[in-house]
Structure formats: structure tokens, C-alpha cells
Amino acid sequence: MVLFSSGASSSSGGAATGTLESIVSEVTSSTSNRTLSNLLKTHVTSSTSNRTLSNLLKTHVKSEIGETILASTLGGGQDPLTVLDAYANTLGFLYIMTARLITAGSAPVPLTVIDNFCRTFDPDAARLAGDRITILAKAIINLTENQNQLHAAILPLLNLITRFPPSLSYMTTIHPHFVHACVKTQHYTAALPVLNVPISEIDISLTPLTTEDVLKYHYVGSLALLGLKRFEEAAEFLEVVVSAPAQHHPAAIQLEALKKLVLIQLILHGATQPLPRYIHASLYRYLKSTAYVSLSKAFPRTSALNEVLTKEQRVFETDCNLGLVRQVLDHAPRWSIRKLTATYVTLSLEEIGKAILIQDVATVKNIVLSMIEKGEIRASLDTSGTVTFLEDEVTYTPADVDRLLRAAQAQGSVLSEADRVMGRSKDFLSKAIRDKDGHHGPSIAEEELFGAPGLRDWDEGGF
């Protein structure tokens, strides 16, 4: 039986009696159960292409009444989702399933049915209905949260996110929902197959993406990476959020991202780092008045850091950053030791302990050993408790250089292609022409007022 056929033959889309159009027209004028049966029966005899079917469903069934009809059962109470095949009838299945998920009072859709759909749908057909896929992703979150089993959303969403777009480098509306489920349930590793693939394609014709989706995905993604102690990758994700263009005022999430980025930079680099020049200048001004500036100024002096923590604990707690701040404090002695390596060749464990304000020699030895293990310093210990700091080891070979060159070449090709695509983009060209004709973007006065001082302060590490 073929329902909502995904066959290649296309209907002319005419309005002859018995065609899909006439039936859709008929069903939108009635809400009886019988009409959904008619709709399905007609499709058994009607051969309709996915694109035609998608257009018709969008046009005729998007209204509230259309959703109600799709959310109804067949004559005799039969569930249409038990009649349809998720692969062969992807579009029909998707529309009916999502209508049921968003229409109050309709028959519930079991999670097993959703899971099966996400594993088996036809991606080509589904790509014609990105808006319904968005509804499905949201509904999966709502359904599993209501059932107090949000973790059950992860596998269906992972299947959606890997099968729906042409590749994982496409950003979709599913992304923020997926990482939200992973982070809220502490299944951080489940997010890695997605987080590990950099986003290089933004196609709003695929799903109705918004700036908020992009910001949320990268912000929540950074939380997953932070949970796994992948600080460098988390910093990259936060930088995407912080440096996203903002028209007038930056979004609140961007300031929150900047606060976290400051903390991660202290862990990773022992100081704040210069950020891209295109970051919204207001962000620096907002940051200047926060406890994060005091913390970065105190780093890595343990006593000063503890003072800031005591004074500002409430702020860090409210910002949900207290855990990260404590990790910053844990890293402070390590950065103090790294500074010592620039001055001294040998030091005893006691001397190192005095410098980092830790009396217990065993604890100092543990820190030094841990730093050697993680490659943060090159040093050697001996039986007398003397630490000798060594020169950095050159660990690359000509083969490594070749490999890096090859990777850089591949990355260069991707960037060239992205540049070519951007150059052909209608939106980009019209914006470029508008900018050329009139004034858009910040004036020199605005840059002088906001941009330069903020950036200069940041570069100096003094805000």
C-alpha cells in the first residue's frame, strides 16, 4: 500500500475531481474523522511527487483547521501512523505526527513511533518540510520533559540532526534542542559527534533558523565542552557567541558568554586574551563593571583571588559560574609555577610551595607531577625533592609539518569556496551595494567612543 507516495512521478497539481487538491480542499472544510480517511484513501490512488505534496500540505493544511484534521484519527478510530510507512510516506507521516504533537486533545504519539521515524525517514522528502522538522524537534523535548525522561530525547534528536541536513556542517534548528537535552541530562559525550563538526553552512531554506538558535547552540554547546574539561573548544564556541553581530545592543547571552570566556582564558592562558576587533564594543563596557574584571586582575595570586571570591561569591553564584570560578582558583598555583619556569632553572619543592602559598610538600609534588603529565611544563624531579625546569621539547617532525600543510590547504579550499558562495549571494550583494551607497555600520566617532578604548584595555589585560 502506498500512502503519501514518495514516488518520482509528479502530479500536475490540477484541481480535477479525485485529485489531491480537491480532497485537501474538501477536508479543510470539514473536521470529521471521515475526511482524514478520505485524504489518505485518495493518496492511495493518487501519484504525487514529494514537492507537490509538500506545497499542498503547506498551503492547505497549515491553518488551525488543517492541523486539527491531520491530528484526527481515521474512520473507526484507526491511527493513521500505524497505516503509513515512515520512509515511503515521510512527508505525510511528518505532517500528521507533528500535527498530533502540537494539537491539544489529540491522540498522543508514542515515543517509540517518533524514534522509529527519526531512524527511518527519507531525508530528501523531509528537507521539503524543515518547518515541520523544527516542530518535531521542539515537540520531542516537550514530550520527554513532560514524561520526566529528557534523556530519551537524545537519540531521536541525534538521528534527526545526522540524517536531516545534507551534512553535519549545516546548522539547523535541531542543534540547540539537541545540545540542550545533552547538557540538561549530563549526557555530555552524546553531544560530541555533533559538537566536533564545525558549522560552515547556514541555510535558512533548510530550517527556519534564527540568530537566537545559533547563539543558543554555541552557548549551550560550550557548556557541554566545559563539562568535559575541553576548555579550548569551549572557548571557541563562546567566541562565536561573543562575536556574533548585534544591531544595537548585544544580547544578554553574549555577555554571559563573555564572562565564561574570561574565566576559561584564565585557565587556558593564565590571563585574558585579545578578542576579535569586530566584537560589539558595548560588551566590554558591560564587562568592566563586573566581578570578572577583579578576578582576572587578581589572577594568579591566590590570596587576592580568595578575597575576590569571598566578596563576589553571590555574583558568581547568580551567574551560575561559581564552579568555573573555583576551577580558575585551582589553576592559579599551576600558572604561578609556570611563571617560575621563566626565571629559575632549579627549585626545591619547599621553595615552590612558598611561592604558591602551599605548605604541604606532598601537595606541591602532586601539582608538579600533574603539570608534567599534562605537558604544562617540562621538568624533572629527583630524590632530594629538587625540581629542574627543562627547555620546551621540539616534538614535531617533517612528516608532521607535511600533515599540517595538507590540513591548512584543505581548510584554505573550504574558505575559498565559502568566499565564492558568499560573493554570489543575493543578500550579500544587495547589502554590499547598500553599504556602498549610504552610511551603514558604526561611524568613526562611534568607534572612537566605544570600540578602540575597549579593545585597547582588553589587549593590555587591564580592561
Partner 1 sequence: MDTPDRPLTPPTTENDRPVLGPFQKSLSKLSQQNSIPDLVRVAEEEDLASDAKDQEDANRFFIVAPLVLGYLILDELAPARYALTRLPINLLGNPLSVSLLNLLAATWHRNHPHVYQRAQELMDLVSASSFFSQPLATLIRTLTEQFTQEFRERTFALVSRAYTSISLSALKSYLGDLPPEHILSVAQQKGWKYDAAAQILSPVVHAPRTIDKSFAPSTLDTFRLVTTTTAALEGAL
Residues 398, 411: Cα–Cα separation, whole Å:
20
- Counting contacts by CB under 8 A, is residue 346 touching partner 1? no
- The yes or no reply on residue 185 touching partner 1 (CB under 8 A) is yes
Q: Under the criterion CB under 8 A, does residue 257 sit at the interface with partner 1? A: no
Does residue number 398 form part of the binding site for partner 1 (CB under 8 A)?
Answer: yes
Between CA 103 and CA 99 the distance in angstroms is 6
User: Which residue in the set 64, 77, 289, 396 belongs to the binding site for partner 1 (CB under 8 A)?
Assistant: 396
Contact residue for partner 1 among 30, 55, 63, 186 (CB under 8 A): 186
- Using CB under 8 A as the binding rule, the residues of this chain from 347 to 376 that contact partner 1 are 366, 368-370, 372-373
CB of 14: closest distance to partner 1 in angstroms?
Answer: 47
Query: Considering the rule CB under 8 A, would residue 110 count as an interface residue with partner 1?
Result: no
102 contacts partner 1 (rule: CB under 8 A): no
Q: Which of 416, 423, 432, 456 binds partner 1 (CB under 8 A)?
A: 416
CA distance linking residue 141 with residue 379, whole number of Å: 50
2 vs 268 by CB, closer to partner 1? 268
> Toward partner 1, which CB reaches closer, 142 or 366?
366
Subset of 113-152 contacting partner 1 (CB under 8 A): 147-149, 151-152
Whole-angstrom distance, CA of residue 349 vs CA of residue 78:
77
With contacts defined by CB under 8 A, name the span among 132-140, 247-255, 341-349, 398-406 that binds partner 1: 398-406
Among 62, 119, 163, 187, binds partner 1 (CB under 8 A): 187
To partner 1, the closest distance from the beta carbon of 377 in angstroms equals 10
| 264-268, Cβ contacts within 8 angstroms, sequence gap of 24 or more | 264/226, 264/231, 264/234, 264/235, 264/238, 264/324, 265/235, 266/295, 266/296, 266/299, 266/328, 266/331, 267/231, 267/327, 267/328, 267/331, 268/231, 268/232, 268/235
* Closest approach of partner 1 to the CB of residue 405, in Å: 6
| Of 188 and 299, CB closest to partner 1 | 188
Q: Which of 30, 32, 55, 189 binds partner 1 (CB under 8 A)?
A: 189
Buried b (16+ CB within 10 A) or exposed e, 421-430: eeeeeeeeee
**Cis-peptide, bond into residue 300, ω within 30° of zero:** yes
For residues 243 and 214, is the Cβ–Cβ distance under 8 A?
no
Is 92 or 221 the residue whose CB approaches partner 1 more closely?
221
Encode burial over 170-180: b for 16+ CB neighbours within 10 A, e otherwise: bbbbbbbbbbb
Phi–psi pair at 381, nearest 5 degrees: -110, 155
Nearest to 227, CA basis, from 264, 273, 269, 178? 264
Selected range binding partner 1 among 7-15, 34-42, 185-193, 213-221, rule: CB under 8 A: 185-193
> How is residue 292 written as a grid cell?
570578572
CA distance 454 to 450: 6
Task: For 129-154, give the DSSP string.
Answer: GHHHHHHHHHHHHHHHHHTT-GGGGH
Using CB under 8 A as the binding criterion, the count of chain residues that bind partner 1 stands at: 43
Asked if residue 9 binds partner 1 (CB under 8 A), the reply is no
Q: Which residues would be at the binding site for partner 1 (CB under 8 A)?
A: 147-149, 151-152, 154-155, 185-190, 227-229, 366, 368-370, 372-373, 379-383, 388, 390-391, 393-398, 402, 405-406, 408-409, 412, 416
